[in-house]
Amino acid sequence: MDKIKKVQPLSESTKWREDFPVDEVKEHFIERREFTKFLLLISGSFVVGQLYIGLQNFFRKSAAQLPIKKIAAIDSIQVNNFITFTYPDKGDTCLLIRLSETKFVAYSNKCTHLMCPVIPKMEEKQLYCPCHAGYFDMTNGSPLAGPPPRALARVKLKFHNGDIYAEGMAI
Protein backbone atom coordinates (compact mmCIF):
# COMPACT_ATOMS: atom_id res chain seq x y z
CA MET A 1 0.00 0.00 0.00
CA ASP A 2 1.26 3.32 -0.98
CA LYS A 3 0.79 6.10 1.45
CA ILE A 4 -0.85 9.01 -0.12
CA LYS A 5 -0.59 12.38 1.54
CA LYS A 6 -3.78 14.17 1.96
CA VAL A 7 -3.54 17.66 0.51
CA GLN A 8 -5.47 20.26 2.37
CA PRO A 9 -7.42 22.75 0.44
CA LEU A 10 -5.82 26.17 0.09
CA SER A 11 -8.35 27.89 2.27
CA GLU A 12 -7.61 25.68 5.30
CA SER A 13 -3.79 26.03 5.08
CA THR A 14 -3.93 29.84 4.96
CA LYS A 15 -6.63 30.30 7.56
CA TRP A 16 -4.08 31.49 10.12
CA ARG A 17 -3.21 34.37 7.78
CA GLU A 18 -6.75 35.63 8.15
CA ASP A 19 -6.52 35.42 11.93
CA PHE A 20 -3.06 37.06 12.04
CA PRO A 21 -2.79 39.38 9.08
CA VAL A 22 0.78 40.60 8.51
CA ASP A 23 1.71 42.82 5.66
CA GLU A 24 5.31 41.84 4.79
CA VAL A 25 6.13 45.22 3.27
CA LYS A 26 5.00 47.08 6.37
CA GLU A 27 6.69 44.54 8.65
CA HIS A 28 10.17 45.79 7.63
CA PHE A 29 9.19 49.45 7.53
CA ILE A 30 10.30 51.60 10.50
CA GLU A 31 8.43 54.80 11.19
CA ARG A 32 10.25 58.01 11.94
CA ARG A 33 8.92 58.09 15.48
CA GLU A 34 10.16 54.59 16.22
CA PHE A 35 13.57 55.42 14.76
CA THR A 36 13.78 58.67 16.76
CA LYS A 37 12.80 56.88 19.97
CA PHE A 38 15.49 54.28 19.30
CA LEU A 39 18.16 56.94 18.67
CA LEU A 40 17.22 58.88 21.81
CA LEU A 41 17.24 55.74 23.92
CA ILE A 42 20.70 54.67 22.69
CA SER A 43 22.14 58.20 22.91
CA GLY A 44 20.70 58.67 26.38
CA SER A 45 22.21 55.43 27.61
CA PHE A 46 25.64 56.49 26.28
CA VAL A 47 25.35 59.85 28.05
CA VAL A 48 24.33 58.23 31.33
CA GLY A 49 27.21 55.76 31.05
CA GLN A 50 29.75 58.52 30.39
CA LEU A 51 28.44 60.57 33.32
CA TYR A 52 28.70 57.55 35.58
CA ILE A 53 32.30 56.89 34.53
CA GLY A 54 33.21 60.58 34.95
CA LEU A 55 31.68 60.83 38.42
CA GLN A 56 33.27 57.58 39.49
CA ASN A 57 36.68 58.80 38.32
CA PHE A 58 36.20 62.18 40.03
CA PHE A 59 35.33 60.65 43.40
CA ARG A 60 38.11 58.08 43.12
CA LYS A 61 40.72 60.81 42.54
CA SER A 62 39.45 63.04 45.33
CA ALA A 63 39.33 60.16 47.83
CA ALA A 64 42.74 58.73 47.02
CA GLN A 65 45.74 60.44 48.52
CA LEU A 66 49.24 59.51 47.54
CA PRO A 67 51.58 58.39 50.30
CA ILE A 68 54.49 60.47 51.54
CA LYS A 69 57.73 58.68 50.68
CA LYS A 70 61.32 59.48 51.57
CA ILE A 71 63.46 59.88 48.44
CA ALA A 72 66.93 60.74 49.69
CA ALA A 73 68.99 62.92 51.99
CA ILE A 74 69.68 66.43 50.68
CA ASP A 75 73.44 66.00 51.09
CA SER A 76 73.50 62.75 49.07
CA ILE A 77 72.80 64.56 45.78
CA GLN A 78 75.39 66.90 44.30
CA VAL A 79 74.51 70.07 42.38
CA ASN A 80 73.79 69.37 38.67
CA ASN A 81 73.17 65.71 39.37
CA PHE A 82 70.11 63.46 39.61
CA ILE A 83 68.85 60.21 41.09
CA THR A 84 66.00 57.91 40.09
CA PHE A 85 63.31 56.68 42.46
CA THR A 86 59.88 55.08 42.28
CA TYR A 87 56.75 56.99 43.22
CA PRO A 88 53.86 56.41 43.93
CA ASP A 89 54.06 52.72 42.92
CA LYS A 90 56.96 50.39 42.19
CA GLY A 91 56.53 50.65 38.41
CA ASP A 92 56.41 54.45 38.31
CA THR A 93 59.97 55.69 37.93
CA CYS A 94 60.81 59.32 38.61
CA LEU A 95 63.81 61.63 38.51
CA LEU A 96 64.99 63.91 41.33
CA ILE A 97 67.25 66.63 39.96
CA ARG A 98 69.31 69.10 41.98
CA LEU A 99 69.56 72.27 39.90
CA SER A 100 71.36 74.42 42.47
CA GLU A 101 72.25 74.43 46.18
CA THR A 102 68.64 75.18 47.11
CA LYS A 103 66.56 74.15 44.08
CA PHE A 104 65.33 70.60 43.51
CA VAL A 105 62.79 69.36 40.96
CA ALA A 106 61.28 65.92 40.45
CA TYR A 107 59.40 64.57 37.44
CA SER A 108 57.88 61.36 36.22
CA ASN A 109 60.38 59.55 34.05
CA LYS A 110 57.75 58.80 31.37
CA CYS A 111 57.57 60.94 28.24
CA THR A 112 54.09 62.35 27.65
CA HIS A 113 54.15 61.22 24.02
CA LEU A 114 54.47 57.41 24.23
CA MET A 115 55.70 56.81 27.81
CA CYS A 116 59.34 56.19 26.87
CA PRO A 117 61.85 56.95 29.65
CA VAL A 118 63.47 60.38 29.53
CA ILE A 119 67.21 60.89 29.98
CA PRO A 120 68.63 63.96 31.76
CA LYS A 121 71.17 66.02 29.81
CA MET A 122 72.56 68.03 32.70
CA GLU A 123 74.89 70.31 30.72
CA GLU A 124 72.01 71.45 28.46
CA LYS A 125 69.40 71.57 31.30
CA GLN A 126 67.09 69.35 29.26
CA LEU A 127 65.40 66.00 29.54
CA TYR A 128 65.66 63.96 26.34
CA CYS A 129 63.31 61.24 25.08
CA PRO A 130 65.25 59.02 22.66
CA CYS A 131 62.18 57.32 21.18
CA HIS A 132 61.09 60.26 19.01
CA ALA A 133 63.62 62.99 19.83
CA GLY A 134 61.47 64.82 22.36
CA TYR A 135 63.02 67.45 24.63
CA PHE A 136 61.73 68.88 27.92
CA ASP A 137 62.93 71.88 29.92
CA MET A 138 64.59 70.61 33.08
CA THR A 139 63.50 73.58 35.22
CA ASN A 140 59.73 73.27 34.65
CA GLY A 141 59.16 70.04 32.67
CA SER A 142 57.53 71.74 29.67
CA PRO A 143 58.10 70.33 26.18
CA LEU A 144 60.69 72.14 24.06
CA ALA A 145 60.86 70.08 20.86
CA GLY A 146 59.54 66.91 19.28
CA PRO A 147 56.15 65.27 19.56
CA PRO A 148 55.44 65.45 23.35
CA PRO A 149 52.08 67.22 23.73
CA ARG A 150 52.30 68.35 27.39
CA ALA A 151 54.68 68.81 30.29
CA LEU A 152 56.04 65.97 32.38
CA ALA A 153 54.10 65.09 35.54
CA ARG A 154 55.78 66.85 38.44
CA VAL A 155 56.36 65.26 41.84
CA LYS A 156 55.61 67.53 44.81
CA LEU A 157 58.61 67.68 47.13
CA LYS A 158 58.79 68.29 50.86
CA PHE A 159 61.98 68.95 52.85
CA HIS A 160 62.24 67.91 56.48
CA ASN A 161 65.27 67.36 58.75
CA GLY A 162 67.73 67.21 55.86
CA ASP A 163 65.69 64.69 53.86
CA ILE A 164 63.61 65.03 50.70
CA TYR A 165 60.16 63.49 50.57
CA ALA A 166 57.66 62.97 47.71
CA GLU A 167 54.19 63.97 48.84
CA GLY A 168 52.07 63.86 45.69
CA MET A 169 51.86 64.55 41.98
CA ALA A 170 51.20 67.91 40.33
CA ILE A 171 49.89 67.52 36.81
Pair (74, 50) in one structural domain: no
Distances 53 to 11, 44, 49, 61, 65 between C-alpha atoms, Å: 59, 14, 6, 12, 20
Among 20, 46, 63, identify where a domain stops.
63
Pair (105, 149) in one structural domain: yes
The pLDDT of residue 164 is 94
Cis before 88? omega within 30? yes
Among 27, 47, 63, identify where a domain stops.
63
The pLDDT of residue 56 is 87
**Is position 26 within any domain?**
yes
Of the candidates 120, 116, 168, 163, the residue with the CA atom closest to the CA atom of residue 141: 120
The pLDDT of residue 110 is 92
Pair (93, 121) in one structural domain: yes
Angle at alpha carbon of residue 87, lines to 125 and 117, rounded to 5°: 45
Q: State the pTM of this model.
A: 0.62
Domain limits for position 148: 69-170
3-state helix, strand, coil split of the chain in percent (to 5) is 30, 30, 40
Pair (73, 140) in one structural domain: yes
Pair (161, 129) in one structural domain: yes
What tens-digit pLDDT sequence spans the chain (171 residues)?
556 666 555 556 667 777 777 766 666 677 888 889 999 999 999 999 999 999 888 877 655 577 889 999 999 999 999 999 999 888 899 999 999 999 999 999 999 999 999 999 999 999 999 998 999 999 999 999 989 989 999 999 999 999 999 998 886
**Is position 98 within any domain?**
yes
The pLDDT of residue 91 is 85
**Is position 53 within any domain?**
yes
Angle at alpha carbon of residue 150, lines to 149 and 153, rounded to 5°: 140
Distances 101 to 37, 45, 97 between C-alpha atoms, Å: 67, 57, 11
The pLDDT of residue 136 is 94
